[in-house]
Amino acid sequence: MRPLSLLRCFLRAVGALVVVLAGPAPSLAVEFAAASTTPILELPRTGLTADDIAVVINDADPYSVEVGAHYAAARRITSERVIHLRFPAGRGVLTAEEFGALKSQLDAKTPPQVQAYALAWAQPYGVACMSVTAAVAFGFDRAHCADGCRLIKASAYFDSDSTQPSRDLGMRPAMLLAARDVRDAHDLVERGVRADGRWPDGRAYLMRTSDPQRDVRAAAYVQARRRIGAGYPIDIVKADALAGRRDVMFYFTGLAHVAGIGTNAFLDGALADHVTSSGGVLIDSPQMSVLDWIHAGVTGSYGTAFEPCNFRQKFPDVGVLMARYLAGETLIEAYWKSVQMPGQGVFVGDPLARPFGGVRQVRVGNAYEVSTRALRPGRYQLQAAPSGVGPYRSVGRIEVVDPGIQRVRLPVTPPRAYRLVREPLVGGAGALSGVSRSSIAWSLSRMPPHILNKASTSDDSTSLGSR
């Protein structure tokens, strides 16, 4: 039996509470329950694991070979999920025909259980008029391209609760393991690994800049802070640069070039990006490349490789991004789910970085107190049973409002098995990996009016590449 359905099992000591983060099949939880007289708590699956990721290596690129092998070892990704391709190295943009041939090879070599890709290169970052991360995820499709200042095809993955995008949505999100050089890439990977489950105490900095064309996300900052609530400290700062801060977990801004980023200390797992046209042109960009964020110590970033104009839908929604990351999703999930129209954007970082995942537990008298951040907002039933095989009955309800630390207290005495089951969202039942189909459509339709641009023509938007 392959324990792919479980994210992690925490067994602190003999006689300790066993905590299982369950996926589609809870069979391993049953084995633990049968093997132990101590309580077991099953939590909903909230993020991808190393078993869900394939690493893609370009054998013609020495950087790709070195970084891909390092990442696979660091994340314990087995050889059947290390995929080797060969194509000319050193080109920023492939033609659609060149990519089509590579995509056919990639699809043929990808095991069916794979849900996402780590692409071990810095070039190519583009395919004709799409980013390479979007082209790998969706296949090349000109509906994800823009001829001038226009909106493009939306992603069904945006703000969705899917934990298996290949099965649920027919797409595999991709992220580049990109950096200026191999040393920077190794540092990036090590930061991602160190970040896992650390629950870092830092701050989010949302910058209001002097550039009105690129400061378009500032209108949504108050709403983002409202969505996070007490889940994490957020500062809205009116300035073009942040300098000398030692606690940066999130840094979002809008400028062609961001000064002084190297003066800050970024915590392991930190995310940062800037709204501008060519941040995703990773090599020789006329504007600041997202690789500058990686060099400064960030673990994940995003930038567009083709002119997006200043449509906010083409850049990360910082409220969605922070909420999902703080609720225990991996970096690739949180970043991808934050961009409504990702066709022109390049995702860079450690896909599996998960600083807010995991659980902690402590014995408190005749009970165990379990703490976790990995619960999405919503209502949960606490169910109990004599053993992991059931039958379960509801013994309480928990409501999660903010993406912060949640605590559950369980008695040491029987019943021996507990599980948290998220109640369906109001308005629909249904069936994507335990996620209501209507919840995905709801996420898209509930996007606030001031996030959506009023028109899709050049009359209402501005190119960001002119200066």
In the predicted structure, residue 13 carries a pLDDT above the cut 60: no
pLDDT band for position 377 (cuts 50, 70, 90): confident
* Strand order across the beta sheet in which 53-58 lies: 82-85, 53-58, 116-119, 174-176, 345-349, 300-304, 266-274, 248-253, 203-208, 234-238
Chain mean pLDDT for the chain: 85
| pTM, to two decimals | 0.86
User: What pLDDT does 20 receive?
Assistant: 57
pLDDT band for position 426 (cuts 50, 70, 90): low
User: What pLDDT does 465 receive?
Assistant: 60
pLDDT band for position 278 (cuts 50, 70, 90): very high
User: What pLDDT does 97 receive?
Assistant: 98
Which of 182-186, 412-416, 424-428, 445-449 is predicted most confidently? 182-186
User: What pLDDT does 6 receive?
Assistant: 32
Question: How many alpha carbons fall within 13 Å on the CB side of residue 443?
Answer: 22
Which of 278-292, 406-420, 425-439 is predicted most confidently? 278-292
In the predicted structure, residue 400 carries a pLDDT above the cut 80: yes
Per residue in 115-139, pLDDT (tens digit) is 999 999 999 999 999 999 999 999 9
List the single range of 174-178, 349-353, 383-387 with lowest mean pLDDT. 383-387
Mean per-residue pLDDT for 362-379? Answer: 89
User: What pLDDT does 5 receive?
Assistant: 34
**What is d(CA 197, CA 337) in angstroms, rounded to the nearest whole number?**
20
In the predicted structure, residue 409 carries a pLDDT above the cut 90: no
What does the H/E/C string look like for the chain?
Answer: CCHHHEEEEEECCCCCCEEEEECCCCHHHHHHHHHCCCCEEEEECCCCCHHHEEEEEECCCHHHHHHHHHHHHHCCCCHHHEEEECCCCCCCEECHHHHHHHHHHHHHHCCCCCCEEEECCCCCCEECCEEHHHHHHHCCCHHHCCCCCCCCCCCCCCCCCCCCHHHHHCCCCEEECCCCCHHHHHHHHHHHHHHCCCCCCCEEEEEECCCCCCCHHHHHHHHHHHHHHHHCCEEEEECCCCCCCCCEEEEEECCCCCCCHHHCCEEEEEEEEECCCCCCCCCCCCCCCHHHHHHHCCCEEEEECCCCCCCHHHCCCHHHHHHHHHCCCCHHHHHHHCCCCCCCEEEEECCCCCCCCCEEEEEECCEEEEEECCCCCEEEEEEEECCCCCCCEEEEEEEECCCCCEEEEEECCCCCEEEEEECCCCCCCCCECCECHHHHHHHHHCCCCCCCCCCCCHHHCCCCCCC
Per residue in 215-272, pLDDT (tens digit) is 999 999 999 999 999 999 999 999 999 999 999 999 999 999 999 999 999 999 999 9
List the single range of 40-44, 292-296, 420-424, 448-452 with lowest mean pLDDT. 448-452
Mean per-residue pLDDT for 291-316? Answer: 98
User: What pLDDT does 21 receive?
Assistant: 53
pLDDT band for position 450 (cuts 50, 70, 90): very low
Query: What are the Cα distances from residue 441, in Å, to 56, 108, 122, 332, 438?
Result: 31, 31, 34, 21, 5
User: What pLDDT does 40 receive?
Assistant: 85
- Residue 303 exposed, middle or buried by CB count within 10 Å (0-12, 13-18, 19+): buried
